[in-house]
Structure 1
Amino acid sequence: MQGGQQLIASYELLLQQSKSMLELARRGDWAALLQEKSCGLVDAESLRQLEARVSLGQQEQLRKVELLEQILALDAEIHTHLLARRDELGRLILNSRRQHELNRTYRPVVGAALVYQAADRFDKGLP
């Protein structure tokens, strides 16, 4: 059952990574979270391959279920933080677009200023 212990250790590592990712999400460290997530995907693939080669005893199966429940709970909370961040970015993008539209609408037009200057001169009889 050496392989079973290795598999459980891999799930425990995945749990620690999930805890780390949740802490990063809580702090709003999105770049580090993405980096950690990338590493986690590589580890998850290794775990999947190990899972295919190893069969677990009853105690190991129970431990695996415990670990998976914890990992899934952490993942759900991470997901909640990511959705909040997505919504925040959406609002920022919308505000930026509105600001851009306002700036474009109300910015002075260079050609219009010349027309006004020329009209002013014409009214005063200046060349």
Structure 2
Amino acid sequence: MKEPPFPTRDDIITGWIDLCHSEEGSDEYEESFWSCMLLDNLIDNFPLDSYKVILDILARDNSYCVVSATGMSLLVHLIGSHGEEVIDRLEHDVRHNSDLHNALEGIYNQGASDEVWRRVKKLVYTIN
């Protein structure tokens, strides 16, 4: 019996970038939407691994649409669900990564603790 193909890390990154660059409702968007679902699952179950994938996405494509979508979707979910696990890494990495800083600029709080959210907002307003 042949095993079904599973997407690689590179496939996931490419799928997300393709999704960000496509028009909602288009064939390309529908064909790439799996990456969003898989990334949401990765964030829920493997927050530190998903954080590394987010950094890889931003390193590969720092266009406005990818940076803003990554912030408004993936980082909002990650910080809201696992802020305590990733805030120290965010504070370290944002100082050396302007694309990560830009992705954080437009996010909103969706479940982060008051302390984590205070630290995130401090990053947005004090680093650039």
Quick check: TM above 0.5? Answer: no
> TM-score, normalization: structure 1?
0.30
> TM-score, normalization: structure 2?
0.30
